[in-house]
């Protein structure tokens, strides 16, 4: 099915444009996002209807469309919200204080917790299914992994400017750091071939990854 058919637009005349400056109900918006995250995780993009999301959030379908416009926008917002929960933008601030190793470890811990959460594992499996539309996979990438990667690339750029790291290719290094963190363990978890690792295993994996990254990009 094409992306054009997958996207569900509000019925004609259902949504009236909000008046300029009209505030949105933040409580309802949060409830819609929580419902959307649950529905998209459990049923995939095609299986999660706007009616079901509205019912789970305890709001009308009109309210869902008023806040997010269409199903594509709601899906992207739900993916961004999940990433922001566990990897807030504050992790990448340019003026962070403290040892670089500690900062990288904090980012690594947040990223690993994100990608191994039940929601993220389910969404990743959905993205790998044959029935997953390329349009949906692109939305997922741009709203989630790409945003996280860009945030970390900005972090690295500042550390290079500060003389703390030597990184010839910022984008490549950001991608490699997260790929190292995923490692074999994440692939096995997505495939259902291993259970959740212990705290000690996670700490050892993250410490080894941070050490390797720092050795690769140490200033001469």
Residues 203 and 125 placed together within one structural domain of the fold = yes
pTM, two decimal places:
0.83
Domain boundary among 38, 62, 81: 81
CA distance 93 to 205: 25
pLDDT tens digits along 149-185? 999 999 999 999 999 999 999 999 999 999 999 999 9
pLDDT confidence of residue 21: 45
pLDDT tens digits along 103-154? 999 999 999 999 999 989 988 888 877 556 889 999 999 999 999 999 999 9
What are the structure tokens assigned to 22, written together?
Answer: 């009209």
Residues 18 and 118 placed together within one structural domain of the fold = no
The mean per-residue pLDDT over the stretch 83-96 comes to 84
Cα distances (angstroms) measured from residue 114 to each of 118, 145, 210: 9, 11, 17
Residues 14 and 118 placed together within one structural domain of the fold = no
Domain boundary among 81, 106, 128: 81
pLDDT of 2 over the 90 cut: no
Least confident window among 26-30, 177-181, 191-195:
191-195
Q: Give the residue with greater pLDDT, 15 vs 97.
A: 97
Domain boundary among 66, 81, 96: 81
Q: 94 falls in which pLDDT band (50, 70, 90)?
A: low
Residues 97 and 183 placed together within one structural domain of the fold = yes
pLDDT confidence of residue 17: 46
Closest C-alpha to 217, from 148, 165, 155:
165
What are the structure tokens assigned to 125, written together?
Answer: 């499996």
Task: Calculate Rg over the CA atoms of the chain.
Answer: 20
Range of the domain at 96: 87-216
Q: Give the residue with greater pLDDT, 195 vs 72.
A: 72
Residues 107 and 160 placed together within one structural domain of the fold = yes
Residues 74 and 163 placed together within one structural domain of the fold = no
Residues 40 and 134 placed together within one structural domain of the fold = no
Residues 51 and 75 placed together within one structural domain of the fold = yes
Q: 23 falls in which pLDDT band (50, 70, 90)?
A: low
Residues 73 and 96 placed together within one structural domain of the fold = no
Question: CATH number of the domain that 95 lies in?
Answer: 1.10.357.10
Question: CATH number of the domain that 38 lies in?
Answer: 1.10.10.60
pLDDT confidence of residue 100: 93
Q: Highest mean pLDDT: which of 55-64, 95-104, 120-129?
A: 55-64
| Neighbouring C-alpha atoms within 13 Å toward the C-beta of 98 | 10
Q: Give the residue with greater pLDDT, 26 vs 19.
A: 26
- Residue listed under structure tokens 């999301």: 53
Q: Give the residue with greater pLDDT, 2 vs 161.
A: 161
């Amino acid at each position: 099915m094409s992306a054009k058919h997958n996207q569900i637009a509000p019925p004609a005349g259902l949504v009236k444009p909000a008046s300029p400056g009209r505030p949105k109900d933040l409580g309802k918006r949060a409830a819609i996002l929580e419902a959307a995250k649950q529905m998209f995780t459990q049923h995939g993009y095609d299986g999660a209807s706007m009616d079901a999301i509205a019912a789970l959030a305890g709001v009308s379908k009109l309210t869902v469309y008023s806040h997010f416009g269409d199903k594509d926008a709601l899906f992207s917002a739900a993916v961004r919200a999940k990433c922001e929960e566990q990897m807030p933008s504050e992790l990448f601030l340019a003026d962070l204080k403290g040892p670089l190793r500690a900062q990288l470890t904090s980012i690594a811990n947040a990223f690993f917790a994100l990608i191994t959460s039940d929601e993220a594992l389910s969404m990743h499996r959905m993205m790998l299914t044959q029935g997953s539309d390329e349009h949906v996979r692109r939305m997922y990438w741009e709203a989630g992994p790409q945003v996280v990667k860009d945030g970390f690339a900005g972090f690295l750029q500042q550390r290079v400017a500060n003389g703390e790291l030597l990184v010839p290719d910022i984008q490549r290094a950001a991608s490699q750091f997260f790929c190292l963190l995923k490692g074999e363990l994440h692939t096995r978890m997505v495939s259902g071939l291993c259970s959740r690792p212990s705290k000690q295993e996670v700490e050892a994996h993250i410490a080894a990854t941070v050490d390797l990254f720092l050795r690769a990009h140490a200033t001469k």
